[in-house]
Each structure stands twice: as structure tokens, then as C-alpha cells.
Chains A and B, each alone.
Chain A
Amino acid sequence: MNTARNILEVIGSSLTLLLRAIGCLPRLPRQLGRVFEYSFQIGYLTLPIVAVLSFFLGAVLALQTGYSLDFGGGQELIGRVVGLAMARELAPLITAFLLAGRVGSAITAELASMTVYQEIDAQRTMQVPPERIHVMPRLVAILFMMPVLTIVAILIGWFGGAVVSEHVSFIGLDPTAYWANLKSVTEFKDVLNGLIKAEVFGLVIVLIACNQGLITRGGPREIGHSVTNSVVSSMFMVLLIDYCLTRILM
């Protein structure tokens, strides 16, 4: 009963935070410096790890597909599988999970620490609410950076699939055939589908991370708990929303 109430309270406080952050949007021009700073933290610093992981994700996907198809032929279908899976599902999902682990945890740790050590209270007494300088600029930054990260993940995932298809001996697929097959089934709407998911995932992750940080009470141990809660809740919500969005966008 308590768990259910806690979940409802967190959802309620997250939605309240979102509304307050939206209410701060007229102040966006004054917060552009922070939007750029957070975009750098979210985007530029996450890009290398997104690139590496998507490469291997595309590569493994090609490897597994090639291995499965090896028994029945039809290796040229690898391009189709990697193309659609990366664009529609895996790129937004892996980007979201990385974001939850790397950026979400950092946001929660920073805001939780500021809350526990009364820095947020000090800012409130200065009529500078946290929604204005900590939440709204991060939400705007993620709106800009999530599509960039996802497109990079899609492209590098496709590339990883191509490399494996060409160089693994039991697949040995010609790159031209791989790309032709990929292009024949993967349309712009598939990429758009993935980008829509990515945008929603990004907003949810940043919102949960900020909310968990700002509702932290106690000391260093509670900061650790908040970070764990933030990452676990984000991943759970991403998977839940992923299912719902996939059904809607089909």
C-alpha cells in the first residue's frame, strides 16, 4: 500500500515539476547559457559512449541474424533486420538507457546534494526557483540533444552491422547488398518513429532525475538512494512507455 502511494506521489510530484518548468519557459532567453551548458553535458559528453555501444549493438544484431539465417539462407535480410531494429527500437532504447545511467544519475546526485545541503532552499529565498535554472534548461537541452544522439546511434549501429556482415566469414555479405537491402525497407517514418520515442524517453529521464534530486531529504545515504531510484525508475518508465508508444506508432 505504501509502495503504491509512494509511486503515485513521485508521479504527482514529477508532473507538478513538469508544469512548473513549462511555466518558466517565458524565461528561456535568459537561460540560454545554461541550455548550452547542459546540452554540452548531455550531448557532447555522452556521444562517444553512445557511438561505441551502438556500433557493437548493430554488430551483434548482424552477427545473431547472420547466425540464425545461416541455417536457412537469406543472408541479405541482415540489412533489413539491422536497419529496422536500430531505427525503430534499439537506437532510442540504448540511448535512453545510457542517458539514464550517465546523465540521469549525475543530475539526481547534483540536485540531491544541493537539496540536502540547503543550496536549493537558498536559491528559493533568492526568488530563483529550481524549476527555472535547473529543470527547464535541462528539459530544453534534452529536446535538442536526444534526436542528435539517436540519429548518431542509428547510423553507427547500421555501420556496425555492415562491418560485421562483410568481415565475418560465415556471413560474408557484400556491403552494397547490405545497404541496398537496408534502404529498401527502412523508410524515413521508421527513423521518425525512433526519434519520437527518443524525445519522450529523454524528457521522462530528465524529469524523473530532477524530481528525485529535488525531493531528497536526509543525508549522504539518501543521496545514494535517490540516484539508484532515479536510474531504476527511469529505466522502468522507459520500457513501459516504449511498449505503449510502439503499440501507438505501429
Chain B
Amino acid sequence: MPEKNIQSIGVEIEHLSKRFGEQVVLDDVSFSVKPGEIFVLMGPSGAGKSVLLRHLVNLEKPDAGRVLIGGKDADDDATHSAIRTALVFQAGALFNSMSVFDNLAFYPREHRLYDKATLRDKVEHVLKILHIEDAARKLPAQLSGGMRKRVAIARSLVMEPQLLLYDEPTSELDPITAANISEIIGTLKEEFAVTSIIVSHDRDLALGIADRVGLLMAGKLLTVATPDELRASTEPAITEFMRPKIDVHNPRFRRLA
């Protein structure tokens, strides 16, 4: 049911820097994402991943450098009118006073995209893809964590985005629900022409569905590699992040003290 003429788009991050007060959050970060690619940006908490994602949807302005989506500056409102970009927020950011159906219908209704019947069909189609048809009449407060994530993804899919961004889509979920969400994200490109950028520190998600993975540490991009390259890497910083060993006899907090 998605429109067939919608094309996925590429993303270029060029020398992006951002600071909040004295704290440098992003320091000269550059990488690109190809159209249709699933790109996972990993890194420890506070590395600047979510801030980078917010630059892509113009919720943050760069201090230096620029972000291009589909060759256009993400800093410009007109870009987001021309290119459909959707962000799945970490906590869902569902509209709590609306039912799940109305959450999904919000974007098309506000932009008067379809008549009532088409809108209902589009929403029901997406609900079906994510197996949440039964939740349509419920309020977000009545949903479990996993359901809320799925509804948040569904709301983004109704927008038929060319660029779909996810902020920690599997955080706070049990392993099976997390795997389910990862599979949903990984198989969406069968149905939708969409470029996906996922911010996460879920190794299973990154190694399982990513075409490429970027590793961001303390605001700097450490590497961009395929999942196989990451698995094979012997770089200490990468192995420490990807395969940390738990040593209660010599814990990190004592080593770092």
C-alpha cells in the first residue's frame, strides 16, 4: 500500500560539531549513509548518538559542519517539507491523549494527504504489518513497552518516510521483544523504500540487521564498518565495546579510579 514512487535517500554528515556549554558532544563527525541502507550508530551512553540523530530532523542546529539528506541541508525547514523524514523516539513520544489509531492518523490528517477511507486503509495496513490491529482503539497508557515501540514505528511508517530514524528502539525491552523489534526494522525495506539510521547500543540488533555500523565514542567517530568487520576487529576500543568482559575480581570502576 505504500506509494511506489517514493525513493529512499542518502545522508551525508560533514564535519559535524556540537557543544552544549563547555561540553563537546560531537567533534568533527563525518560519515555517509547510502540510499536504502540500514546504518546502525553505536556507542556508549552519552557518546552523542541521539544528539546526532536530532540534527537529522532539525531538532538541533550544528555549531559547525552540516548534515545533508538527499543532498539538501537538514538545517533548512524546506528540506523536511520536500523529503519525508520520520524519527522513532526512544520513549515513543506517542500522543498520550489520542488513541493508537489517531496517533497513526495524525500526520496524514494534519497534511490532508488522503480521504477518510484511504486514510483508514493506510493505518490499518500498517497496524497489520506490525501485528497491533487489536491496539487500534487503546490509549498509549494502556500499552506495554514493546507495544509502545511498535506503535511508534507504525506511526512513522504511516508517514511513508524516505528516511527513518530510530533512537534506541530496543532499549528497556526483554530479549525476545527486542529481537522482534529488530526483525521488524530489518524487514521493513521489503515493504518500504526507506533508508534507516538506528541509534542503539544493542549489539545483537547492530550485528543482526545492519548493513554498516558506525561507532561513536565521546563525540568522535571511531570507525564505520560492516558487522563482519566489527566481529573480526582486534582494535582494543572496539573489542572492549563489542565484547566487554565482566571481571568482578578486577572491576572497571576500580581500574579507572
B95 and A127 contacting across the interface, CB-CB below 8 Å: no
Interface size on B, residues (CB 8 A): 21
A192 at the interface (CB under 8 A from B): no
A28 at the interface (CB under 8 A from B): no
A126→B95 CA distance, assembly (Å): 13
Please, what's the 1-or-0 string for B100-122, where 1 marks a CB less than 8 Å from any CB in chain A? 00000011001110000000000
B91 and A117 contacting across the interface, CB-CB below 8 Å: yes
B95 and A119 contacting across the interface, CB-CB below 8 Å: yes
Task: For residue A84, give the distance in angstroms from its CB to the closest CB of chain B.
Answer: 44
B81 at the interface (CB under 8 A from A): yes
A167 at the interface (CB under 8 A from B): no
Once A119-B95, A119-B96, A122-B95 are accepted as A-B contacts, the answer to whether A128 and B110 lie under 8 Å apart by CB is: yes
User: What residues on A are CB-neighbors of B57 within 8 Å?
Assistant: 124-125
A128→B87 CA distance, assembly (Å): 14
Task: For residue A23, give the distance in angstroms from its CB to the closest CB of chain B.
Answer: 12
A124 and B107 contacting across the interface, CB-CB below 8 Å: no
B59 at the interface (CB under 8 A from A): yes
B111 and A125 contacting across the interface, CB-CB below 8 Å: no
User: What residues on B are CB-neighbors of A122 within 8 Å?
Assistant: 87, 89, 93-95
A119 and B93 contacting across the interface, CB-CB below 8 Å: yes
A53 at the interface (CB under 8 A from B): no
A124 and B110 contacting across the interface, CB-CB below 8 Å: no
A133 and B89 contacting across the interface, CB-CB below 8 Å: no
A121→B95 CA distance, assembly (Å): 11
Interface of A is mostly: helix
A126→B158 CA distance, assembly (Å): 11
User: What residues on A are CB-neighbors of B159 within 8 Å?
Assistant: 126
Which residues of chain A from 100 to 138 have any CB-CB distance to chain B below 8 Å in the complex? 114, 117-119, 121-128, 133
Task: For residue A211, give the distance in angstroms from its CB to the closest CB of chain B.
Answer: 19
Partner pick for B89 among A30, A118, A128, CB 8 A cutoff: A118
Interface size on A, residues (CB 8 A): 14
B81 and A118 contacting across the interface, CB-CB below 8 Å: no
Which residues of chain A from 123 to 178 have any CB-CB distance to chain B below 8 Å in the complex? 123-128, 133
Q: Which of A119, A121, A124 has the most CB of B within 10 A?
A: A119
User: What residues on A are CB-neighbors of B17 within 8 Å?
Assistant: none
B80 and A127 contacting across the interface, CB-CB below 8 Å: yes
User: What residues on A are CB-neighbors of B110 within 8 Å?
Assistant: 126, 128, 133
A127→B109 CA distance, assembly (Å): 12
A192→B164 CA distance, assembly (Å): 54
Which residues of chain B from 30 to 78 have any CB-CB distance to chain A below 8 Å in the complex? 57-59, 77
User: What residues on A are CB-neighbors of B95 within 8 Å?
Assistant: 114, 119, 122
B153 at the interface (CB under 8 A from A): no
B200 at the interface (CB under 8 A from A): no
A133→B106 CA distance, assembly (Å): 12
Once A118-B91, A119-B95 are accepted as A-B contacts, the answer to whether A30 and B80 lie under 8 Å apart by CB is: no
B91 and A126 contacting across the interface, CB-CB below 8 Å: no
Where the two chains meet, the residues of B that have a C-beta atom closer than 8 Å to any C-beta of A are 57-59, 77, 80-81, 85-87, 89, 91, 93-96, 106-107, 110-112, 159
List 18 interface pairs A-B (beta carbons < 8 Å), by A numbering: A114-B95, A117-B91, A117-B93, A119-B93, A119-B95, A121-B89, A121-B93, A122-B93, A124-B57, A125-B57, A125-B87, A126-B106, A126-B107, A126-B110, A128-B106, A128-B107, A128-B110, A133-B110
Known interface pairs A125-B80, A125-B85, A127-B77; 18 further A-B residue pairs with C-beta atoms within 8 A, sorted by A's residue number: A30-B112, A114-B95, A117-B91, A117-B93, A118-B89, A119-B93, A121-B59, A121-B89, A122-B87, A122-B93, A122-B94, A122-B95, A124-B58, A125-B59, A126-B110, A127-B81, A128-B106, A128-B111
